[in-house]
Copies of this chain bind each other. A is one copy, B any other.
Amino acid sequence: MNIPKRTRREFVQTTSAGLGAALVAIQAPALATACASKPDRTIGFALAGIGKLTTNEIAPALKETKHARLTGVISGTPAKAKSLAQAYGVPQSNIYDYETMDRLRDNPDIDVVYVVTPNALHKEHTIKAARAGKHVFCEKPMAVSVDECEEMIAECRDAGVKLSIGYRCQYEPHHLECMRLAREEEFGEAKIIQAGFGFRLTDRGQWRLRRDLAGGGALMDAGIYALQACRYLSGEEPIEVAAFETKTDLARFAEVDESISWQMRFPGGVLASCSTTYNARKLNRVRLYAERGWFGLEPAFSYRGLKGERLDGKPLRFNYVNHFAAEMDDFARCIIEDRDSKVSGQEGLRDLLVIEAIYESIRTSRPVNLA
C-alpha cells in the first residue's frame, strides 16, 4: 500500500484552491459558468441506489444544480426505479439495474454514476460504472476497507474516469469557513479538537445494522464525519489513534458497532477527541481550540440548519446551501473543466485508513501507529 502523505503546506494549497472553487460554485454560479470552458454543457447524473438519501435529498438536489441534472436511475427494484424516473422526467430507457450497468457505456445522457448503495456495495458499483466509462461520485464511506478503496482508485484511473467521494461538508460554507479559520490560524495554533457525530438508530430492519451491507456501524456511517473534520481542520493526517468501543444493546448492535470513542494525535501537536454512536440523540458537533480561542459548529454535520460559533462572538453564519447540489455541481465542473475533484478517492481512502486503525485499536486494545 502506497499512500502519499500530505504535508501541512500541501494541505493549505489544495484546500485553499478547493475552497476558492467551491465558494465560486456556491456564491457566484453565473460567474463560474462564464469562466468555464464549456458553459452550456450540463453533466448527466445517474443515481445508483434508491433509499431515503436518494429520494429525499440527492434527487431533489439535482433540481437545484447548475451544471448537473438527473438523467438516469440504477436500482435493483424496478418499481422504485420507475417511480423515481417518472417523478424526475427520466426516460424509461435510462433505467438500469446492477446487472445491466455495462450498457451505460452506450448511453451518452449519462456522464456520472452517483453510487448511493449500501457501503459494502460501493466498490462493485463504482467499478461497474468505471468499466462502462462513466465518472463516479461515491457516497461516504468510500468503501468498507482500504484495499477496496485502492482497487476503486486503480479501476477509475485505468478507465480514465474521475472519482470523487460525497463528503458534502467540504462544499458547505460553515465548514469552509472553519477550514479557513484553522488554516489562517485566526485564533493562533490549534491545540485541541473535540468532535462527535451520532444518532439513535432504532429501526432494526436498517441495512446499516447488517455487517454484510454496512461493513461497520456508527463509526463507518456517522463517526466518519467527525474524523474527516479533524483531518481537514488540523490540515494533517493523524499519526496515532486509540479507540474504545462499548455495546449496551447486544441484540440491536449484534453485527455493527454501537458507540466508539477515539482519539488522534496529529504531527503538529493537535489532539483530537471524538465520539460516535447509534444509540444517543444529536451528538453533532465539532470545536477547535487554539491558543487565543475557539470556533466550531453545532449542529455540524446535518443536511441543513448548521450553526457556527466563535469565542470572540463574531458571526460564523452563512445562508443555507444545498450540500448535495454544491458537491454535484463541483464534480460536474471538474468534468467540464477536466480537472480532478479536491475530494478524490485518495481522500476517501485516507479516512478508511484511520477507520481501520480505530477498529484495529479496539480489536487489539492498543493504540495504532499511522506515521
Assembly CA distance A294 to B282 (angstroms): 7
Kindly state the separation between the CA atoms of A194 and B291 in the bound complex, as whole angstroms. Answer: 20
The answer, yes or no, to whether A204 is at the interface (CB within 8 Å) is no
Question: Chain B residues near A335 (CB, 8 Å)?
Answer: none
How many residues does chain A have at the interface if contact means C-beta atoms less than 8 Å apart? Answer: 45
Q: Is A182 an interface residue (CB 8 A)?
A: no
Contacts of A294 in B (CB 8 A): 280-283
Contact partner, A291, options B271, B279, B365, B367, Cβ 8 Å: B279
- In the complex, whether A289 has a CB less than 8 A from a CB of chain B is yes
Contact status A265-B244, CB under 8 Å = yes
Assess the B271–A274 pair: CB atoms within 8 A: no
Complex Cα–Cα for A279 and B269 (A): 11
Q: Beta-carbon contacts of A94-126 to B below 8 Å, as 1s and 0s?
A: 000000000000000000000000000000000
Q: Of the listed stretches A42-50, A148-156, A256-264, name the one at the interface; the rest are far from the partner chain.
A: A256-264
Task: Verify if A240 is at the interface (C-beta below 8 Å from B).
Answer: yes
Q: Output the least CB separation between A288 and chain B (Å).
A: 9
A261 touches B269 (CB 8 A): no
Pair B189/A248 contact, Cβ less than 8 Å: yes
Do A367 and B242 touch (CB < 8 A)?
yes
User: CA A165 – CA B282 in complex, angstroms?
Assistant: 35
Q: Decide if A279 touches B367 in the complex (CB within 8 Å).
A: no
Per the bound structure, the CA–CA distance linking A366 and B289 in Å amounts to: 26
B198→A289 contact, CB < 8 A:
yes
Known: A271-B246, A289-B198. A283 touches B192 (CB 8 A): yes
Residues in chain B near residue A194, CB distance under 8 A:
194, 196, 273, 275
A293 to B198, CA, bound (A): 11
A-side interface residues toward B, CB under 8 Å? 187, 189, 191-192, 194, 196, 198, 200, 240, 242-244, 246-248, 259-263, 265, 268-275, 277, 279-283, 289-294, 311, 365-367
Extra contacts besides A194-B194, A247-B269, A366-B367 (17): CB < 8 Å: A191-B259, A194-B275, A200-B292, A242-B367, A244-B263, A244-B271, A244-B367, A246-B265, A259-B271, A261-B273, A263-B263, A280-B294, A281-B291, A281-B294, A282-B294, A283-B294, A365-B366
